[in-house]
Amino acid sequence: MPTALVTGVTGQDGSYLAELLLKQGYKVIGMVRRTSTINFDRIRHIQDEIEIAQGDLLDQLSLISILQEYRPQEVYNLAAQSFVPTSFSQPVLTGEFTALGVTRLLDAIRIVDPSIRFYQASSSEMFGKVREVPQSEDTPFYPRSPYGVAKVYGHWITVNYRESYDIYACSGILFNHESPRRGLEFVTHKITSGVARIKLGLSKELRLGNLDSRRDWGYAPDYVRAMWLMLQQDNPDDYVVATGETHSVREFLEESFGHVDLDWQEFVVQDDSYYRPAEVDLLVGDASKAGRQLGWEPSVSFGELVRLMVDADLEYWQRQLKRDAASSA
Ligand code: NAP
Ligand code: G4F
């Protein structure tokens, strides 16, 4: 039974990747950082099937100790400060987690077992002010946020350790991917949760920032499959993972409010406080290399993604309403 370590297992991608690895017969070690309140909402259903190891990307010794104790063959580094606006207000902390954290983990691998296969969660945010359309593995980076800058560092240190120390290290340049498990602060889930609340009479408005930016939005479970495929090849490499379609935030609004027969323009309020100091206007990926070499392709369309997220939020808020009604009866 192979063993895999997943950092960021409590996050959106970590939870889906842990499910996939369990299905493939792996022993899964999920690294979690110490918090005063346990935050296992996304992994509660598999909590008994995985092992939890305490560690932090800020703490070198914890990373070395986990590798020494569990001896994984594969390490997926999904942990990061992943919210772009926070990277503007906490740029140094973002650099510590999202940039230097990658080096700490790669150094732990180099010290404990350089034969470990390593996946780094790189991001289309690295393309930022895009140099070409669509963006591929060969497109130059031009990050537009401290988060994007930190991810560029994480990407290149992964390439550098591969070339310097012969580590099987891959960087997956993943475009935005979403699901009902997406953090509520990200625009897709903020919108679909808002739509459900408005439909059920729990909210009257939805406050948003820039509606013109365009993203290549895919479905998270498809994207974790690409991560796993990258570590199963003969040679390590870097891959763009994307749908190849781009849509504006406005289109996301039309589709999601339209799904419940509402007109988004009656409910959305534009709020300057959600604008960023620098914006990434347009992302659209060319995943043809992943298609050719990994046999990967997305399985969920933009419309399907929006609808499944709205439906999941409607179900969630309906359940909450029933619970509230039962407890006040
Ligand atoms: P997410 O939901 O924000 O999850 C981030 C995870 O990192 C959480 O489990 C968090 O733990 C953990 N973490 C944060 N700081 C840590 C630290 N110092 N030590 C240990 N763990 C720490 O992110 P996601 O959407 O699943 O994304 C996974 C990875 O892919 C991230 O690296 C992200 O930057 C990258 N990425 C995401 C997308 C996307 O569209 N989702 C696209 C490209 C790249 P807590 O639960 O304790 O906070
Ligand atoms: O959902 P977002 O916050 O995602 P963003 O900034 O594209 O970053 C996500 O995708 C990256 C991959 O490219 C990941 F690496 C990163 O970790 C993260 O998962 O914002 C999307 C767009 C932006 O242009 C933003 O300005 O939506 C716009 N937006 C408009 N109103 C908003 C809002 N974003 C948020 N979060 N909240 C708003 O109210």
Q: Which atom of ligand 1 is nearest to the CA of 33?
A: 20
Q: Which two tokens mark 54?
A: 């305490």
Q: CA dist 122 to 7, 130, 324, Å?
A: 14, 16, 41
Residues β-bridged to residue 3: 27
Q: CA dist 45 to 15, 23, 48, 55, 298, Å?
A: 10, 14, 8, 22, 25
Q: Which atom of ligand 2 is nearest to the CA of 80?
A: 17
Residue 301 has what pLDDT? Answer: 98
Q: Which atom of ligand 1 is nearest to the CA of 97?
A: 18
- CATH number, span 187-215+245-283+300-328: 3.90.25.10
Q: Which two tokens mark 299?
A: 């399985």
- The whole-angstrom separation of Cα 40 and Cα 168 is 30
- Residue spans of the domains in the chain: they are 3-178+218-241, 187-215+245-283+300-328
Pocket lining: 249 vs ligand 2, CB cutoff 6 Å: yes
What's the gap in Å between 211 CA and the centre of ligand 1?
24
Helices (H), the chain: 12-23, 60-70, 84-89, 91-94, 101-112, 146-165, 187-199, 220-230, 249-259, 288-289, 302-328
Residue 329 has what pLDDT? Answer: 81
pLDDT < 70 stretches in the chain: none
- The whole-angstrom separation of Cα 244 and Cα 213 is 16
Q: Which two tokens mark 186?
A: 């990200």
Nearest CA to ligand 1 atom 41: 177
Q: CA dist 154 to 101, 102, 131, 165, 282, Å?
A: 8, 6, 20, 16, 22
For the question of residue 223 being annotated catalytic, the response is no
Q: Could you check whether the bond before residue 134 is cis, i.e. omega within 30 degrees of 0? A: yes
Pairing mode, strands 27-32 and 3-7: parallel
Class of domain 3-178+218-241: alpha beta
Residues 6+ apart with CB under 8 A from 187: 208, 249, 252
Residue 328 has what pLDDT? Answer: 87
Residues 6+ apart with CB under 8 A from 155: 120, 122, 126, 141, 171, 173, 238
* pLDDT tens column, 67-99: 999 999 999 999 999 999 999 999 999 999 999
Pocket lining: 82 vs ligand 2, CB cutoff 6 Å: yes
Given ligand 2 and candidates 83, 84, 174, which is best to mutate, with the most ligand atoms within 8 Å of its CB?
84
Pairing mode, strands 169-174 and 206-208: unpaired
Instruction: Give the active site residue among 82, 122, 123, 193.
Output: 123
Q: Work out the burial of residue 112: count CB atoms within 10 Å of its CB; fewer than 13 is exposed, 13-18 middle, 19 or more buried.
A: middle
